[in-house]
Amino acid sequence: MTKNNTVIRLENVWKIYRMGEVEVPALRGLSLEIKRGEFVAIMGPSGSGKSTCVNMVGCLDIPTKGNIFLEHRNIAHLSESDLAQIRGKLIGFIFQQFNLIPTLSALENVMLPMVFQGIPRNERLQRAQRLLEMVELKERMHHRPSELSGGQQQRVAIARSLANDPEVVLADEPTGNLDSKTGSTVMDFLKRLQKEEKKTIVMVTHDAYVAKHADRVEILRDGQVVKSTINRRERK
């Protein structure tokens, strides 16, 4: 694995939360490397540190100690304003709860992240339309979230995560609120992002079946990787 092919690297990352006089370590020297274009699933029991790990990669938090390299830039100790800029340009987010704005249409929800990057309205509109067509929602783009099914809302969220053409897509339990059939459809779209759009996918899941869609599964326990598995079907 060459450094030129690595998009995310965590080196001996610790995250310690303080609750009064008590220190609670969520990550304990976590090291992890993710290659460009790879699909990695992160699993582990409740309290294992998997959500904290994704928050670090997503520039939503900074470590107590250790280094985090995103596109070869150490983001471990950047200011919040710098982290926000990186989030907006390099990372797309997909959440279990969808997090769509209820008063906006599907089209407007997808356009919104581009506003903060200063993209002209006409370009925002064209890109959002293309993304919604990609996730097969051309006929539903003017509907609000309350008028869409759970699976359709998650597909809007997938389209929104791609609005600024990020290098990395972080998916936090993307099928957690969906039935198994709809969840499989969403996973098919994530695989398409990896294969056709050449995106790097990092997904948190508790579902072993969902994790089988990934190239590699990293299992966390007590804030450390305890097992790394390559899914056989992905081997060449």
pLDDT tens digit sequence for 76-95: 988 888 898 888 889 999 98
Which backbone phi and psi does 228 adopt, to 5 degrees?
-125, 125
What is the pLDDT, as a whole number, of residue 88?
87
Q: Model confidence over 189-207: pLDDT tens digits?
A: 999 999 999 999 999 999 9
Confidence tier at 1 by pLDDT (50, 70, 90): very low
Task: Say if 5 falls within a structural domain.
Answer: no
Diameter of the chain measured on Cα atoms: 55
- Which whole number is the average pLDDT over 107-130? 95
Q: Tell me if 17 is assigned to some domain.
A: no
Q: How far is CA 108 from CA 100, 111, 133, 233, 235, in A?
A: 10, 5, 14, 38, 40
CATH number of domain containing 119: 3.40.50.300
Tell how far CA 212 is from the center of its chain: 17
Tell me if 6 is assigned to some domain.
no
Q: What percent of the chain has pLDDT over 70?
A: 97
Give domain status of residue 68, yes or no: no
Stretch 116-127: mean pLDDT, rounded? 94
Report the pLDDT averaged over residues 61-81: 91
236: confidence class by pLDDT, cuts 50, 70, 90 = very low
| Residue 11 belongs to a domain | no
Residue 187 per-residue DSSP state: H
Residue 4, pLDDT > 80, answer no
Count Cβ atoms below 10 Å from residue 26 Cβ, excluding itself: 23
pTM of the model: 0.90
Query: Residue type at 187?
Result: M
Asked whether residue 1 is assigned to any structural domain, the reply reads: no
- The phi and psi torsions of 153 (rounded to 5 degrees) equal -65, -40
Q: What is the pLDDT of residue 2?
A: 43
Domain count, the chain: 1
Give residue 205's domain range: 36-62+79-234
Residue 204 inside a domain? The answer is yes
The answer, yes or no, to whether residue 215 has pLDDT greater than 70, is: yes
> Is 23 part of a structural domain of the chain?
no
